């Protein structure tokens, strides 16, 4: 703590960090400025025509998805923590897999599977008669279901971790005092895992309102989709800015909620007589029920879509889809994602370092500014960067630079979440020892701190690399000539219903996302769970 109290002149690092923070806030601030200074007539027109419908659609979708993910996530977490059944260890892991599937991939697979004249309809009509119609994937229930299948692992993982950390003595005390099992669940267990549920749901909602891929392919009008449509069909971006402002406000509300619950969910009294709950052995009937439930959810969310992608990919590849052009798309994706991830690590380093080593108000504010990108859905990040550059540096518009900046703005928060704790785990003492041995600040940073935080930073890099690789709306809007990525190809082919042609790129994205998912599951959630046990 000695270093924190010592008075220092602002170092070059401080200036860099200030400059970066300003740079990161500028685009968002500019959007807000454009929206706030828009003619009242534009606001009035949007309020009387589009906004009520868009708000209604967005909120009802978020609510619907939240409800379904609540049921799926909590029940699956409960089953995998409290019961023992054959294959439990595999299922535990497999149920996180849907996170590796971008929403636009799941959406397009289901658009085919459940669509008119699709394979499911034939079975449906065999069962319910020739005229029977499936619920359309493009309807509200369809979109809700698809988004829920993609996002329930957020709730599942957080609740599972909370259940594992939960001290079973509380429940036992309640039971010993004569409380019925149901009442114990309601009055003891649920309140204890409530913060985890809330944090999971807030993540789900944030994800849903900022999603572009699924809603655009399923033609469901949300605010995020409307921002994209406004940007691509109007000569001026005022209306898009106004819708963006609403969206950002909405995202901030859920973001703040999520942070609040997440902080609360960390404080568990697990010292003293902590005991893990014992697993109940599921009998034959229980095993059958549990297995069929888990198989059903996993199959719908990952198994069937993945099988479909593999089948389509094989067909497409046998027709020669893997040509040099396709290799070019892989190269583009890798190139852009690597550039963005490197850039974000380099930009994030001074921010995270200063905030953890010299937590002055200014330094913490700089770090918070970098988190602003969290509240920017892809099209809004693109709009912010685009509007800013067209006004102040039009020469850079249409170059890789603009796209990379949008990526960094959008994904830096993801990286900071791994970088910040990594830095916090290194005690300042180590650096001070280096200083007393004659190293300068820069030397100690370079030779002591950086090697120690390497793993956290590698994790941050990988996460940002993969997020960027999957990114769709900003890439669509800002890519330079000749920079089609895998994600772009999936979306372009799928939106014209060339499902086979979209499959190889989609499958590759899913496969490449798996390492990041493993990182996420083992670090963020499992890590915390294990900390709780020891």
Partner 1 sequence: MASFPRTVFALTLLISALILQEWPAKTADAADKLVVYSGRAERLIKPVLDEFQTKSGIQIELLSSGTTELVNRLQAEGDHTPADVFLTNDAGSLEHARELKLLRPMNMREVERAIPSQFRASDNSWIGLSGRFWVVVYNTTLVKPEQIKSLLDLAQPQWKDKIAIPNSGSEYLQAGVSVIKTTFGDERTKQFLQGLKTNAGSQVYQKSSQIVEAVAKGQVAAGIVNHYYIYRHLAAQPTAPIAAIMTDQQEGGMGAIMNVTGIGVTRASKHVDSAKLLIEFLVAQAGQKLFADLDKEYPLHPDVKADPALVDRHSFRAALVPLARLAELRESTLTLIEQVGLR
CA distance 352 to 366: 9
Q: What are the strands, taking DSSP E only, across 21-114?
A: 83-84
Please provide the distance, in angstroms rounded to a whole number, between the alpha carbons at the two ends of the chain.
27
Near partner 1 by CB under 8 A, which window of 26-34, 151-159, 223-231, 270-278?
Answer: 223-231
Assign residue 219 a region: left if phi > 0, alpha if psi is -120 to 50, beta otherwise?
A: left
Residue 200, CB-side half-sphere exposure with 13 Å CA sphere: 30
Task: Return the biggest CA–CA distance within the chain.
Answer: 84
Residue 207, CB-side half-sphere exposure with 13 Å CA sphere: 24
CA distance 447 to 66: 47
Residue 426 within binding range of partner 1, rule CB under 8 A: no
Nearer to partner 1, 134 or 362 (CB): 134
Residue 3 within binding range of partner 1, rule CB under 8 A: no
Near partner 1 by CB under 8 A, which window of 17-25, 197-205, 492-500, 524-532?
Answer: 492-500
Residue 183 within binding range of partner 1, rule CB under 8 A: no
Contact pick of 4, 15, 33, 53 for partner 1 (by CB under 8 A): 53
Residue 180 within binding range of partner 1, rule CB under 8 A: no
Nearer to partner 1, 253 or 452 (CB): 452
- 304-343 binders of partner 1 (CB under 8 A): 335, 338-339, 342-343
Nearer to partner 1, 2 or 481 (CB): 481
* Rounded least distance, CB 117 to partner 1, Å: 5
* Rounded least distance, CB 211 to partner 1, Å: 16
Q: Output the CA–CA distances (angstroms, integers) from residue 415 to 207, 349, 401, 410, in the order listed.
A: 17, 10, 19, 10
Residue 103 within binding range of partner 1, rule CB under 8 A: no
* Rounded least distance, CB 450 to partner 1, Å: 5
Phi, psi of 281 (to 5 degrees): -80, 125
Residue 497 within binding range of partner 1, rule CB under 8 A: yes
Contacts with partner 1 by CB under 8 A: the residue count is 48
- 259-288 binders of partner 1 (CB under 8 A): none
Any residues with CB less than 8 A from the CB of 314 and at least 6 apart, and which? none
Q: Output the CA–CA distances (angstroms, integers) from residue 283 to 3, 83, 84, 291, 294, in the order listed.
A: 60, 10, 9, 12, 16
Residue 177 within binding range of partner 1, rule CB under 8 A: no
Residue 390 within binding range of partner 1, rule CB under 8 A: yes
CA distance 379 to 399: 17
Phi, psi of 280 (to 5 degrees): -90, 135
Q: Of 532, 524, 341, which Cα lies nearest the Cα of 418?
A: 524
Near partner 1 by CB under 8 A, which window of 3-11, 191-199, 269-277, 390-398?
Answer: 390-398
Residue numbers at the binding site for partner 1 (CB under 8 A): 45, 49-50, 53, 116-117, 138-139, 216, 219, 221, 229-235, 335, 338-339, 342-343, 346, 386, 389-390, 394-395, 397-400, 446-447, 450-451, 454, 476-477, 479-482, 492, 495-497
């Amino acid at each position: 703590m000695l270093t924190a109290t010592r008075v220092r002149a602002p170092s070059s690092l401080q200036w860099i960090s200030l400059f970066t923070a300003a740079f990161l806030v500028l685009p968002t601030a500019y959007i807000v400025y454009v929206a706030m200074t828009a003619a009242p007539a534009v606001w009035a027109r949007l309020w009387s025509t589009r906004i009520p419908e868009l708000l209604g659609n967005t909120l009802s979708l978020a609510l619907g998805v939240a409800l379904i993910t609540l049921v799926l996530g909590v029940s699956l977490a409960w089953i995998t923590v409290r019961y023992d059944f054959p294959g439990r260890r595999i299922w535990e892991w497999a149920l996180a897999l849907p996170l590796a599937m971008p929403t636009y991939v799941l959406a397009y697979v289901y658009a085919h599977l459940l669509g008119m004249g699709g394979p499911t309809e034939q079975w449906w009509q065999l069962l319910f008669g020739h005229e029977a119609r499936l619920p359309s994937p493009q309807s509200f229930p369809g979109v809700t279901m698809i988004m829920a299948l993609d996002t329930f692992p957020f709730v599942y993982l957080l609740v599972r971790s909370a259940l594992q950390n939960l001290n079973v003595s509380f429940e036992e005390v309640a039971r010993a005092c004569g409380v019925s099992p149901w009442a114990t669940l309601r009055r003891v267990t649920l309140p204890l895992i409530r913060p985890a549920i809330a944090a999971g749901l807030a993540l789900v909602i944030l994800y849903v309102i900022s999603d572009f891929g699924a809603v655009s392919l399923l033609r469901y009008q949300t605010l995020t989709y409307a921002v994209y449509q406004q940007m691509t069909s109007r000569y001026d971006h005022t209306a898009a800015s106004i819708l963006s402002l609403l969206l950002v406000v909405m995202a901030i509300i859920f973001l703040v909620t999520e942070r609040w619950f997440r902080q609360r969910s960390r404080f568990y009294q697990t010292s003293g007589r902590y005991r893990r709950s014992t697993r109940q052995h599921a009998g034959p009937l229980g095993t059958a029920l549990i297995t069929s439930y888990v198989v059903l959810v996993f199959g719908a969310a990952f198994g069937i879509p993945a099988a479909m992608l593999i089948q389509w990919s094989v067909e497409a590849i046998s027709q020669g889809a893997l040509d040099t052009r396709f290799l070019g798309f892989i190269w583009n994706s890798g190139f852009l994602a690597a550039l963005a991830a490197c850039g974000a690590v380099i930009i994030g380093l001074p921010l995270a370092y200063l905030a953890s080593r010299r937590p002055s108000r200014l330094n913490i504010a700089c770090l918070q500014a970098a988190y602003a990108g969290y509240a920017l859905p892809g099209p809004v990040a693109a709009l912010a960067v685009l509007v800013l550059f067209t006004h102040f540096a039009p020469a850079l518009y249409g170059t890789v630079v603009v796209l990379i900046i949008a990526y960094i703005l959008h994904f830096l928060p993801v990286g900071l979440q791994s970088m910040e704790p990594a830095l916090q785990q290194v005690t300042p003492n180590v650096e001070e020892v280096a200083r007393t041995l004659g190293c300068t600040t820069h030397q100690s940073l370079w030779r002591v701190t950086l090697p120690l935080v390497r793993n956290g930073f590698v994790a941050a890099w990988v996460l940002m690399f993969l997020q960027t690789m999957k990114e769709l709306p900003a890439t669509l809007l800002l890519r330079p000539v000749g920079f089609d990525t895998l994600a772009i190809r999936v979306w372009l082919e799928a939106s014209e219903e060339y499902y086979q042609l979209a499959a190889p790129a989609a499958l590759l994205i899913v496969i490449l996302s798996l390492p990041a998912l493993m990182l996420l599951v083992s670090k963020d959630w499992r890590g915390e769970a294990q900390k709780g046990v020891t």
